[in-house]
C-alpha cells in the first residue's frame, strides 16, 4: 500500500476554490475538481488507492470528516455507477436525435454467371460479285411492287431506303457474348423531412431522462456523504464507548484490589470480593465487545473510502461536535421541495411521460421523406460506368393500424398518470423526511442537555459511594451500582451527541444540500443543473385533491 499517494490526497484538500467549468453537455468530463462544502479536492490528484501488486500491510490513516467525504465521493462505486448511467442516457439522446438526420447507404455488388448466346442480325458483306445479285433481286422486287401498285412510282433508290432492301444486305447469325460477370455500385440517401413530431418528442423525452440521470449523480454523492458522515461519527462513538469500557475496567480493577485489602484486614465479608470480581469480569466482556465495535467501524470506513480493510482509519479529533442550527423547519421544507433530487427526478419523469404521450399520438400522423440514389454498373471492376440516378419524395399516412396507436396512447396516458402520482408521493415523502430529521435533532438536543447533567450527577454519586465504602459506612453494592450508573450516563451522553450529529447530516440529505461544490477556472461556484418546476404543478395537486375528495 503506497500511503505516499494518499498523502497527496490529503495535501490536495488544502487547495480551495480551484476547478473547471461544469458543462451542461458533459458534466463528467468537465468536472475535473470536486470539492466538499467546506474544502476543495482536486479530482485528478486522487490516486488509485488500491494497487493489487502492492503488499497490504496494516497502516494508520488520520482523516478529518471533510477529507473522508471527499475521498469517498471521488472513489466510491455508487458514484461511478451513477456517472455511467448518465453517459448511457446522454448517448441515448444522440441515438434518438440521429433519426432526424439524413442517412447515407452505399452498396457494392459483384456477380458471376454463365456465358449467354444470342442470335443477332449483322451486316452482310457486299463484294463486287454480290452487289449485282442484290441489285437484280431488288429490281425484281421493285417490278413486283409496281405491278401490285402501279401508282406508287417507286425507284430503285427509294427501295434501298426501305427494310426490304436492308434484308437483302444483312444476315441473321448466332453469336456468343463473353460477358459472364457484373459489378454494381449504389449510393442512397434517405432524409426524413417530417415525422409527425415523433422524433422531436422522443428527443425531448430522452433529454429529460438524461437530466434525471444527472440528478442521480448528485443524489448518490449526497447519499454517500451521509453514509460516510454516519460511519465517521459511528467510529467516534465506538471509540468513546471503548474509552468508557476501559475506564470501567480500570475503576473496577482498583476497586477489587481495595476490597481485597479490606477483606484481608477482616473488615468486610468475602461476598464483597466475589461480587466485585464478577462485576470486573462483566466489565472486561463489555471492553472486548467495545474494542471489536471499534474495529468493525474502522472496517466500515475503509470500505466506504475504498481503502484496504487492513487500514486503520483514525478521526483527527476525538470530540463529537455540537453545532447549533438556525434554520426553521418550514424553511428546510421549502428548500427541500426546490432542491431534493428525488423530486427533481420525479418532475423530469412527468415531463418525459408527457413527451412520450406525444410520441404515441404521432402514430396516426403522416410522415414525409426524401430519397435519392445513384447507381453504376459495368462488367469490369470496380463497376463505375453506366451511371443512373433517381430522386423521389414520399408521404406515408397510416390511415388505420388496427387500433395499435389508440392502445399506445392509452398506455402513455396511464404512464403519465403514474408519473404524476409518483411526483406527489415524492413531495409528501420529502416533507416527512425533513420533519422527521428536524424532530430527531430537537430530541437529541434535549437528550444532550439532560444526559450531560446526568453524567455529572453519576460521577459525583460514584465518588461518594467509594468514599462511603472506604469509610465503612457504605456497602459494596452501592459502589458497583454507582459504577454502572456512571457508565450508562456517559453512554447515553455519547449516544445523544452521535444522534445529534447524524441527525444534522440526515437533515442536509433530506433538504437536498449538495455533497460537493464545483468551481470554474475563475473560482466562481458553478451551480448544478437548474432545478425545474412543473408548469402544471398546481393542476396536479388540485386534481389529486379532487380525486381524494371523491
CA distance linking residue 369 with residue 193, whole number of Å: 5
Quick one: pLDDT band at residue 8, thresholds 50, 70, 90? Answer: very low
Which percentage of the chain shows pLDDT scores above 90? 38
Asked whether residue 179 is assigned to any structural domain, the reply reads no
pLDDT value of residue 117: 52
Same domain, 252 and 327: yes
pLDDT in tens, 15-50: 333 333 333 445 444 443 433 433 333 333 434 444
CB contact at 8 A, 272 and 259: yes
pLDDT attached to residue 533 = 63
Q: Cell for 315?
A: 478521526
Q: Residue 473's domain spans which residues?
A: 3-97+192-549
pLDDT of residue 172: 55
Is residue 402 located within the same domain as residue 482?
A: yes
**Which sign, positive or negative, has the C-alpha torsion 283, 288, 289, 291?**
positive
Buried-state track 419-447, b at ≥16 Cβ within 10 A, e below 16: bbebbbebbeebbebbeebbebbeebbeb
How many distinct structural domains can be found in the chain? 2
Q: What is the mean pLDDT of the segment spanning 222-250?
A: 95
User: Are 286 and 424 in the same domain?
Assistant: yes
Sheet holding 181-194, edge to edge: 103-112, 181-194, 367-378, 388-396
Residues 239 and 203 in one domain: yes
C-alpha closest to that of 223 among 337, 43, 81, 436: 81
Evaluate whether residue 22 is within a structural domain.
Answer: yes
> What one-character DSSP code corresponds to residue 536?
T
Does 422 reside within a domain?
A: yes
Same domain flag for 388 and 521: yes
Eight-state DSSP code of residue 124 = P
Instruction: Give residue 433's pLDDT band: very low, low, confident or very high (50, 70, 90).
Output: very high
Residue 382 domain-assigned (yes or no)? yes
Rounded CA-CA distance 520/23 in Å is 10
Q: What are 377-418's pLDDT values in tens digits?
A: 777 676 666 777 788 777 888 877 778 888 988 898 999 999
Return d(Cα 220, Cα 82) in angstroms, integer: 7
Q: Residue 169's closest CA among 211, 135, 123?
A: 123
What gap in Å lies between CA 287 and CA 244, rounded to an integer?
A: 8
Query: End-to-end CA distance of the chain, in Å?
Result: 66
Distance in angstroms (rounded) separating the CA atoms of residues 10 and 39: 11
- Where is the domain boundary, 110, 137, 169? 169
**Does residue 54 lie in a domain region?**
yes
User: 405 and 442: one domain?
Assistant: yes
User: How large a percentage of the chain has pLDDT more than 70?
Assistant: 72
Pairing outcome for strands 59-63 and 311-315: parallel
Sign of torsion over alpha carbons 136, 139, 141, 143: negative
Strands of the sheet containing 516-519, edge to edge, are: 40-42, 33-36, 516-519, 525-526
Q: What is the residue whose three cell numbers read 442484290?
A: 134
Count of CA atoms in the C-beta half-sphere (13 A) of 498 = 19
469 and 543 together in one domain: yes
The CATH number of the domain holding residue 448 is 1.20.1600.10
Mean pLDDT of the 5-11 span: 43
Calpha distance 307→2 (Å, rounded): 11
What is the chain's mean pLDDT, rounded? 79
pTM for the model stands at 0.71
Any domain includes 186: no
pLDDT band (50, 70, 90) for residue 191: confident
Residue 444 and residue 335 share a domain:
yes
Tell me if 114 is assigned to some domain: no
Say if residue 382 is preceded by a cis peptide, omega within 30 of 0.
yes
Amino acid at each position: 500500500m503506497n500511503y505516499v499517494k494518499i498523502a497527496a490526497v490529503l495535501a490536495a484538500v488544502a487547495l480551495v476554490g480551484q476547478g473547471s467549468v461544469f458543462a451542461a453537455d458533459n458534466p463528467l468530463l468537465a468536472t475535473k475538481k470536486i470539492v466538499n462544502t467546506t474544502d476543495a479536492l482536486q479530482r485528478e490528484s486522487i490516486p488509485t488507492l488500491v494497487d493489487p501488486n502492492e503488499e497490504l500491510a496494516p497502516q494508520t490513516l488520520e482523516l478529518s470528516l471533510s477529507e473522508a467525504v471527499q475521498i469517498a465521493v471521488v472513489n466510491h462505486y455508487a458514484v461511478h455507477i451513477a456517472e455511467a448511467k448518465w453517459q448511457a442516457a446522454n448517448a441515448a439522446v444522440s441515438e434518438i436525435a440521429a433519426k432526424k438526420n439524413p442517412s447515407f447507404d452505399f452498396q457494392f455488388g459483384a456477380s458471376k454467371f454463365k456465358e449467354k448466346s444470342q442470335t443477332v442480325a449483322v451486316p452482310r458483306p457486299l463484294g463486287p460479285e454480290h452487289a449485282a445479285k442484290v441489285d437484280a433481286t431488288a429490281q425484281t422486287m421493285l417490278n413486283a411492287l409496281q405491278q401490285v401498285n402501279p401508282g406508287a412510282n417507286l425507284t430503285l433508290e427509294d427501295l434501298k431506303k426501305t427494310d426490304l432492301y436492308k434484308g437483302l444486305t444483312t444476315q441473321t447469325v448466332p453469336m456468343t457474348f463473353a460477358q459472364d460477370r457484373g459489378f454494381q455500385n449504389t449510393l442512397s440517401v434517405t432524409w426524413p423531412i417530417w415525422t409527425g413530431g415523433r422524433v422531436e418528442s422522443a428527443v425531448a423525452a430522452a433529454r429529460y431522462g438524461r437530466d434525471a440521470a444527472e440528478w442521480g449523480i448528485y443524489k448518490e454523492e449526497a447519499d454517500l456523504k451521509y453514509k460516510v458522515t454516519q460511519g465517521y461519527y459511528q467510529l467516534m462513538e465506538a471509540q468513546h464507548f471503548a474509552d468508557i469500557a476501559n475506564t470501567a475496567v480500570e475503576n473496577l480493577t482498583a476497586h477489587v484490589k481495595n476490597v481485597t485489602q479490606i477483606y484481608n484486614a477482616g473488615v468486610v465479608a468475602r461476598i464483597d470480593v466475589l461480587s466485585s470480581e464478577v462485576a470486573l469480569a462483566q466489565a472486561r466482556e463489555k471492553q472486548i465487545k467495545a474494542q471489536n465495535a471499534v474495529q468493525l467501524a474502522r472496517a466500515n470506513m475503509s470500505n466506504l473510502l475504498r481503502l484496504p480493510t487492513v487500514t486503520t482509519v483514525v478521526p483527527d479529533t476525538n470530540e463529537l461536535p455540537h453545532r447549533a442550527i438556525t434554520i426553521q423547519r418550514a424553511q428546510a421544507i421549502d428548500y427541500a421541495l426546490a432542491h431534493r433530487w428525488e423530486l427533481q427526478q420525479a418532475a423530469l419523469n412527468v415531463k418525459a411521460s408527457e413527451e412520450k404521450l406525444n410520441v404515441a399520438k404521432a402514430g396516426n400522423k403522416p410522415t414525409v421523406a426524401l430519397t435519392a440514389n445513384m447507381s453504376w454498373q459495368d462488367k469490369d471492376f470496380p463497376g463505375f460506368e453506366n451511371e443512373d440516378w433517381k430522386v423521389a419524395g414520399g408521404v406515408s399516412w397510416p390511415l388505420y393500424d388496427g387500433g395499435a396507436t389508440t392502445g399506445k396512447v392509452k398506455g402513455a396516458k396511464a404512464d403519465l398518470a403514474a408519473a404524476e402520482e409518483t411526483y406527489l408521493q415524492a413531495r409528501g415523502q420529502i416533507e416527512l423526511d425533513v420533519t422527521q430529521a428536524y424532530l430527531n435533532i430537537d430530541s437529541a438536543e434535549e437528550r444532550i442537555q439532560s444526559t450531560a447533567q446526568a453524567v455529572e450527577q453519576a460521577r459525583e454519586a460514584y465518588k461518594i459511594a467509594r468514599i462511603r465504602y472506604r469509610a465503612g459506612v457504605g456497602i459494596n453494592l452501592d459502589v458497583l451500582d454507582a459504577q454502572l450508573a456512571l457508565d450508562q450516563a456517559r453512554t447515553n451522553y455519547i449516544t445523544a451527541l452521535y444522534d445529534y450529529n447524524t441527525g444534522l447530516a440526515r437533515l442536509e440529505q433530506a433538504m437536498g444540500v449538495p455533497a460537493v461544490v464545483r468551481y470554474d477556472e475563475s473560482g466562481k461556484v458553478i451551480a448544478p443543473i437548474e432545478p425545474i418546476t412543473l408548469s402544471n404543478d398546481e393542476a396536479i395537486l388540485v386534481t389529486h385533491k379532487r380525486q381524494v375528495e371523491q
